Amino acid sequence: MRRYIKPFLEAQTDKQRKRAYIERNREEGHTRLWNDYFAENPTYEAHLFRRCFRMNKELFMSIVYGLSQNVPFFQHKPDATGRLGLSPLQKCTAAIRMLAYGSAADAVDEYLRLGESTELSCLHHFTDGIIQLFGDQYLRRPTPEDLQRLLDIGEKRGFPGMIGSIDCMHWRWKNCPTSWKGQYTRGSSKPTIVLEVVASQDLWIWHACFWSSRYLKRY
């Protein structure tokens, strides 16, 4: 029996080691994306773009331009055969869709024509690039001038001493370790993590943190 099983197992192991190449026709993915959202007469109008990308088209294009000019991963370059790789629009759209919808890495494979590992690489380079390019301006602590401006705005709106509005939301922690569930469960049997955010009236987020729902108190 062993002599029959061993060749079968070895064949399965060799098969698993081989990485299958799939011709996804990435040019078709770029063309479809361009015609849907970025052409002169796109299939989906501006309000649908904002709903799908969670931002307006001008902001998205400024991000794409900044990344393609400063991050080598997002530059549109030919491969060893002279064939152009994925476009910056495809890579940035893949990352934004994952962030906007919390979808799996292979969720946009059929539409954008890129595989799971490439999608994850897009996400990692996108977040690193955003921090590198925009971190000094948008990912910083408020300066004394910022705080004074926010206090002035709050006073004019009838809320003296306020720098922004606070809000919290619960995110369910699906894979919470069993030994930690008691710390992250409050009012239900499902463990959650609390996201706390303070934003000003212009939607600029000045503070954000995650913490355990066990310590959430009502005031």
User: What is the C-alpha separation between 34 and 23, in angstroms, rounded?
Assistant: 20
pLDDT in tens, 136-194: 888 888 899 999 999 999 999 999 999 999 988 888 888 888 888 888 887 677 888 88
pLDDT at 144: 93
**pTM, whole model, 2 decimals?**
0.72
pLDDT digits (tens, 9 = 90+) for 91-105: 999 999 998 888 888
* 195: helix, strand or coil: strand
DSSP 181: T
Distance, C-alpha 169 to centroid of its chain: 18
pLDDT of residue 218: 39
The residues spanned by each domain of the chain are: 16-136, 144-215
pLDDT at 194: 86
State the sign of the Cα–Cα–Cα–Cα dihedral 31, 22, 68, 84. Answer: negative
Reported as a pLDDT band with limits 50, 70 and 90, residue 11 is low
Instruction: Indicate whether 16 pLDDT > 70.
Output: no
Tokens of 138: 């948008």
